Copies of this chain bind each other. A is one copy, B any other.
Amino acid sequence: MSHPEKPVQSGYAYQKIAEEIEAQILRGDLKPGDLLPGETEMGSLFGVTRSTVREGLRQLETDGLIHRPSPRRMEVTVPPVDLLTTRATRAMALMKVTFRELVEVAMVMEPLAARTAAERATPEEIEDLQQLHAALVASEGQLEETIELDEKFHSRVTEIGHNRVLGPAREPVGLLLFRGFEHIAPVATNFYKRQIEAHSNILAAIRDRDVERASKWARMHIEDFWRGVQLAGLDDANPVLPRPVSHTEGVT
């Protein structure tokens, strides 16, 4: 605790390599966009074999610190958000969090998302959101589609808030939470209508730049969801993973 700098290099060579490169990235010696030397070259550079270098690189790649835009280039990156959310979502599912826990957090995240969106959305973003909402309305009655559009709507609202901290924090919660509809829809009355009403109110508030109203409706939306959860007896049930998570990077 006395030394702020602790050279915690674990004994394994491949880890040392990963740590070294990671340090260079964090220190700024390597900036996003820079491309790395070939594996063979790094090998001789670090005094290890290519196989060893490879394991180190795989570690960094999994962390999202480097990636391969083309099979020929290996360059430094800022970890893509979806990678973060993917991992967090998976982890939460595995640690068997309950709907209660998810709702508790969603109860403050969603209002914040809505509030920031109302504050900062550009006209184009609002337009985009409106289309998403239209799609939701159109898919009334179709469970799977509704769930997906619902999640997408909330996700988009968050994006519109232009807060890069909120995104990764909220997404996993939404991803796990809204899957609950699957079990709620059958037991809740007027499920689709209430869903649509809430969203259209949030949307309207964002359009009117009414921060408070946006926030309030978002909260009510989650409260309503929570009632649904209770009705379905899911309070302490574990949500399931949306769908097989892939390691492949989406090109955005």
Contacts and interface: CB of A to CB of B under 8 A. Distances in A.
Chain copies in the assembly? 2
A247 interface: yes
Interface in A26-83: 26, 32, 51, 54-55, 58-59, 61-65, 78-79, 81
Contacts of A62: 58-59, 62-63
A241 B26 contact: yes
Interface string A160-199: 0001111011101100000000000000000000000000
A234 interface: no
A26 B163 contact: no
- State the 5 A-B residue pairs at the shortest beta-carbon distance, nearest first: A62-B62, A79-B91, A108-B108, A8-B246, A169-B169
Given A105-B112, A169-B172, 15 more contacts: A5-B244, A8-B244, A10-B247, A10-B248, A14-B58, A15-B248, A64-B91, A78-B94, A91-B168, A97-B164, A101-B163, A101-B164, A105-B166, A108-B108, A108-B111
